[in-house]
Amino acid sequence: MPDTQRTRLLIARKVPAAVAKRAETEFHAYVTDADMDAWSVVEFCTKHALPAVLIGKKSGLQAEHIAALPPTLKIVANASAGVDHMDVAAAHARGIVVTNAPDALTECTADFTMLLVLAACRRASEYERIMRAGWGKSFGMTDMLGTRVNGKTLGIVGFGRIGRAVARRAQGFGMRVIYTDIQRAAPALENGATYYESLDAMLPHCQVLTLHVPGGGAPLMTAREFGRLPQGAIFVNAARGGLVDEDALYAALTSGQLRGAGLDVYRGEPNVDPRFATLDNVFLTPHMASATVETRDQMGFTALDNVAAVLDGASALNPV
C-alpha cells in the first residue's frame, strides 16, 4: 500500500511499464496490477485522501461514484480520447477537472482505419484463412477478386483530428475524400476534401464509408443509412460500436448491399455478435486501433502531463 504522506495519484488501470515508472517517480503513485472497478477507486481515493486518479473503462465513474469521491480529489485523468465511460457533467459539478488524451491516438487510429479499409476491400480475412488452411489450389483470373481502393470515394463521418488524418492517408492511396460534420472545416484543414452538410446527402456518394465521431445516443447507422449507400459499398468502424445498429449491419452484409466491412468496435464488446464471425466478407479486430507501444505510452504520458499541470495549480492541458 502507498505512503499516504507522499502518494498523490492512483493509477486505477493497467498501464505500460514506462508510464508506471514515471507515475511512481513523479507522483509516488500507487499503480494497480489489475483494472479496478469504480467503487474500488472511490474507496481507495477516500481512504488515502488523494488529489488525482487515472481511470479506465472498467473504473468509469458515474454520478453516484463521483458523489462519493473525497473533497481532496482535483482531477480525473483519462488516457484515452473518449470519455463516454464516465459522467463528465457530474465531475464538473463537484469542481473536479476531467481530462483526456485527444492527440495521442490520432495517428495510430488513422493507420488502423486504413488497414481496415484495405483489408475489407481486398478480402484480407479470406486470403489469410486460405493460406492457414494450406492453400493448395491455384486461382484463376476471375477468382477471389477484391475491389481496388485507388480511385474510390471515401466518405468520412466526423472530420476532427482522426478524420483528417484518415483523409491524408486515403489521398495517398489516390482516393477521393468527402466528409460530413456539424460544421465545415477551414479550407486549409479540408486539404481538397469535399464537404456535405448532412450524412443523408453524403451517403449515396460513398463507395467506402468510415466513422470518426463519439459514441452515445441512438445508432448513427441504421437500416435506413445503410440503404442509402451505393450497393456494394465498404463500411469501416474504428470509432464506437454503439454508432451502429448491428442487426442492420448484418442484414446489409448478407444481402449484398454492403460488399464488405472492417470492424474494430462492437456494441457488446468485448463480446462480439457471433454472426459476424461467420461472414467471409468481414474483417474483424478486437478494438486495437491504438495498440502500439508508442501510442499507449503517449496516452499514459498525456494523462500524467495533465495530472502534473493541475496538481501544480495550472490549467489542464486537455480539459474535457
Q: Render pLDDT for 92-128 as a digit per residue (tens, 0 to 9).
A: 999 999 999 989 999 999 999 999 999 999 999 999 9
Contacts of 90 (CB under 8 A, 6+ apart): 61, 62, 63, 66, 67
Q: Does residue 3 carry a pLDDT above 90? A: no
Q: Which residues are catalytic?
A: 240, 269, 287
pLDDT digits (tens, 9 = 90+) for 262-291: 999 999 999 999 999 999 999 999 999 999
Region for 317 from its dihedrals, namely left if φ exceeds 0, alpha if ψ lies in -120 to 50, beta otherwise: alpha
Domain ranges of the chain: 10-104+293-311, 106-284
Return the CATH architecture of domain 10-104+293-311: 3-Layer(aba) Sandwich (3.40)
Half-sphere exposure of 92 (CA within 13 A, CB side): 7
Q: Do domains 10-104+293-311 and 106-284 have the same CATH topology?
A: yes
Q: Does residue 19 carry a pLDDT above 60? A: yes
Q: Contact at 8 Å (CB) between 174 and 118?
A: no
Average pLDDT of the chain to the nearest whole number: 96
Q: Which residues of 259-278 are buried (b: 16+ CB within 10 A; e: fewer)?
A: bbbbbbbbbeeeebbeebee
What's the predicted TM-score (pTM) here?
0.90
The mean pLDDT of 173-177, rounded to a whole number, is 98
- Verify cis geometry, omega within 30 degrees of 0, for the bond prior to 270: yes
- Domain 106-284 part of CATH 3.40.50.720: yes
